[in-house]
Amino acid sequence: MSIVDYRHELPVVEGRLTARQIEEIIVKPLGEKPDKKYFIALAISLTALGIGAVSVLWLLLKGTGIWGLNQPVGWAFDITNFVFWVGIGHAGTLISAILFLLRQKWRTGIARFAEAMTIFAVMTALIFPILHTGRPWLAGYLMPYPNQHQLWVNFTSPLVWDVFAVSTYFIVSFVFWYVGLIPDFATLRDRATSQLKKILYTVFSLGWRNSHRNWQHYEKAYMLLAGFATPLVLSVHTIVSFDFAVSIIPGWHTTIFPPYFVAGAIFSGFAMVVTVLIFVRKIFNMEEMITMNTLEKMNKIMLATGLMVGYAYSMEFFIAWYSGNPFEQFIFLNRALGPYAWAYWIMVSCNVLSPQLFWFKKIRRSIPAMFVISILINIGMWFERYVIVVSSLHRDYLPSSWGYFVPTIYDFGVLIGSFGLFFTLVILFTKALPVISISEVKAVADNAQPSHHGGNH
């Protein structure tokens, strides 16, 4: 084991890259024609998206019945996917907003990408609240808008809270992301060789001139937006969890849900970011900016949030026992031992057991290990929502109404389609915009902040 030198901060950007080199590396993918690998990746994700599109078309033509839903399981893949994708988004906001406020410089290498994933994940998630309704063409009814019928939405319904929470989240994340992009747009504008790019970047850079005044306003705005986005990290998944917690169904009606959901969201979001970044840093030669140290820190966060969800799982059982409520006790026993025990144990082994490997530094710093574990966490977190949604519904109060949910190919079709949409957007993003914030990385690189001590400190 190497001895860590605690007298110096770990360099955020390795390899003593100059500002120019940083810019070159980040901008490189934007200038190059996409290669074969890129098209293969795009073809795969577009195929997945196509499968989803066909499933959705059939859904719109025939009705919700093409899914496997039934009485009593009124929600299954649809809401599972929704919560899963909203959760994925959380890592981005946490990294860009909270870590920014906490002055965590290592965030700069991954913030842009994580933020983009937030936006794409929320876009993907937003499909489900619309598609899960029986009459998606009337989904506008969920918006409070003045109308002659004097119809109004029901402000006591968590689904309406969802509409506000998720749309606010999307808008704020998008604005935050865009504001962060402005200096980079200006850089791209200045480097652009083609007329079209020049015009586009000029428009998007909103007249950025790198002036002190620009920077001063920018820093203020960025700080304010970070402050604004921070509570959203907590509020969005809290409100999503209210969809369940506000109901009276045992297994849903649980006060632990808000913190448990937020922890789970960060957990799954980090896993997804790690999964994707492992590839991005390799393919685009960005190992020096998305460093192993950064990945290790993310793995530590996964370990911490994994422990939190593990705690939540055990606390649910404890409270079920402690409450003395027979319905509550039954639902948790049924989760672990009933027809959906397989899903429950997949969830526990993926979410609680697999991150424990991150206690070992070697594993934390091993690319293949973290790839496998992050994938497992993604699977586990999808199953966590599946277990919550389906296993609570399938056996609630009256044994006469119990049922079992069996997904159909269309359930899988839409699930695959959601991954298709997300990854298509991610893949297009890598070629359309700088995946790492140029200005921010420059600012944290060695020698960026001149000092009396020769730059290292």
Query: Using the rule CB under 8 A, is 330 a contact of another protein?
Result: yes
Residue 380 is a binding residue for another protein (CB under 8 A)? no
Binding piece for another protein, criterion CB under 8 A, among 107-115, 172-180, 285-293, 331-339 = 331-339
- State yes or no: residue 142 binds another protein (CB under 8 A): yes
Q: Is there a contact between 142 and 163 (Cβ–Cβ < 8 Å)?
A: yes
Should residue 55 be labelled a site residue for another protein when binding is judged by CB under 8 A? no
Kindly determine how many residues on this chain lie close enough to bind another protein according to the rule CB under 8 A: 56
Site residues for another protein, 260-319, by CB under 8 A, read: none
* Nearer residue to another protein within complex by CB, 411 or 440: 411
Nearest distance in Å: CB 94, another protein:
28
Q: Is residue 63 part of the contact set for another protein (CB under 8 A)?
A: yes
Shorter beta-carbon distance to another protein: residue 247 or 356: 247
- Round to whole Å and give the CA distance between 24 and 201: 17
Does 248 contact another protein by CB under 8 A? yes
Q: Least Å distance between CB 233 and another protein? A: 24
Nearer to another protein (CB atom), residue 11 or residue 251 = 251
Considering only residues 406 to 445 of the shown chain, the ones binding another protein according to CB under 8 A are 406
Minimum distance of another protein from residue 314's CB (angstroms): 20
Smaller CB separation from another protein, 174 or 397 = 397
Question: Token digits for 422?
Answer: 């997300």
Q: Would you count residue 68 as binding another protein (CB under 8 A)?
A: yes
By the rule CB under 8 A, 255 interacts with another protein: no
Among 334, 306, 308, 338, smallest CA distance to 320 is for: 334
Task: Note whether 323 binds another protein by CB under 8 A.
Answer: no
Instruction: Pick the binder of another protein from 281, 297, 335, 395 (CB under 8 A).
Output: 395
Task: Determine, following the binding rule CB under 8 A, whether residue 396 of this chain makes contact with another protein.
Answer: yes
With CB under 8 A as the contact rule, the residue among 259, 310, 338, 407 that binds another protein is 338
Considering the rule CB under 8 A, would residue 64 count as an interface residue with another protein? Answer: yes
Task: Specify the residue, 399 or 454, whose C-beta has the smaller distance to another protein.
Answer: 399
Given a contact cutoff of 8 angstroms between Cβ atoms, the answer to whether 264 and 302 are in contact is no
CA distances from 446 to 169, 178, 300, 441, 457 (A): 34, 26, 25, 10, 9
Site membership for another protein, residue 404 (CB under 8 A): yes
Residues at the site binding another protein, with contacts judged by CB under 8 A:
62-65, 68-75, 132-136, 138-139, 141-142, 151-154, 156-160, 163, 243, 246-249, 326-327, 330, 333-334, 337-339, 393, 395-404, 406
